[in-house]
Amino acid sequence: MQSKTTRVNGRDLGNQVAKQIARDLFSGVYKPGDMLPPETDLAESLAVSRASVRTGLQTLSALGIIRRQAGKGTVVEETHEWNMLDPQVSRWMIEYANPNPDFFRDIYEYRRAIEPYVSALAANRATAQDLAAIERAYDGMARGLKEGSTEQFTQADISFHTAIYRATHNLIWAQSVNILRPAIMLVIEKSNDTAEELSESLENHRRLMECIRLRQPEAAFNAALTVMRRTATDLGINPTRNDDESSAMIRIETLNGR
């Protein structure tokens, strides 16, 4: 009988090395500017070959997390160099870290700038199938609230916003939510976990859904802003820009789908 054991090859070991070092980085064992131990020390401590260590370091270097200096060693890059939007980096952050508050703020500011516009586009372009997907996600949020399951509420919340991005029928927006999904998931989980009352969040999402269903792009834009204001409150973030300033950036012809 053939063994079911999967043989670990060099590339798999390299990925495991990258994952182990990433855990140390995101949990604060190593900080930006720190030098990593020499390859020989890493190989010994991780019980792998130097070749596997080099493969793992190459992965981290490609993600902007470390910089390898010939003859000097490997230094941890400043966090602004890290490719935080890479799904792998976001997953590591979710799994290993209590992320820097700046990361929450940055993702919040991205969502606050983009999602009102995306919601307005969805109000113009959503098909019956899109509306059904948004409603299913909303129903999942409602069930999560009723059953007292923050986890279920959060997963449905993520699906709700994903469905709105896809309802724009714009390839770039639809792909961007896939790329950013782990980071957005982290922010939504954090805001829902710290929220005093999820019923207000549910009502804000219902209003946004109705604006999209009724083909009211400007109302959808404003409803999405309300959702984001609630998110800021739950995250303890002080928005740096006035809502009116942000709203003024969207021209009426855009809201009308021209």
Q: What tens digit of pLDDT does each residue of 129-163 get? A: 999 999 999 999 999 999 999 899 999 999 999 99
For CATH 1.20.120.530, the residue range(s) in the chain are 99-255
For CATH 1.10.10.10, the residue range(s) in the chain are 10-81
CA–CA distance, 53 with 19 (Å, rounded to integer): 11
Q: What tens digit of pLDDT does each residue of 21-34 get? A: 998 888 888 999 99
Residue 73 has pLDDT above 50, yes or no: yes
Question: Kind and range of the H or E element at 75?
Answer: strand 73-76
pTM for the whole structure = 0.73
**CB under 8 A, 24+ apart: contacts of 4-9:** none
Fold of 99-255: Four Helix Bundle (Hemerythrin (Met), subunit A) (1.20.120)
Listed in sequence order, the residues at least 6 apart from 208 whose beta carbon sits closer than 8 Å to its beta carbon are 119, 164, 220, 223, 224, 226, 227
pLDDT bracket for residue 185 (50, 70, 90): confident
10-81 belongs to which CATH class? mainly alpha
Contact 84, 93 (CB under 8 A): yes
**In the chain, % of residues over pLDDT 90:** 53
pLDDT bracket for residue 192 (50, 70, 90): confident
pLDDT bracket for residue 9 (50, 70, 90): very low
Greater pLDDT, 240 or 63: 63
Greater pLDDT, 166 or 90: 166
Residue 11 has pLDDT above 90, yes or no: no
Residue 246 has pLDDT above 80, yes or no: no
Q: Which amino acid is at 228?
A: M
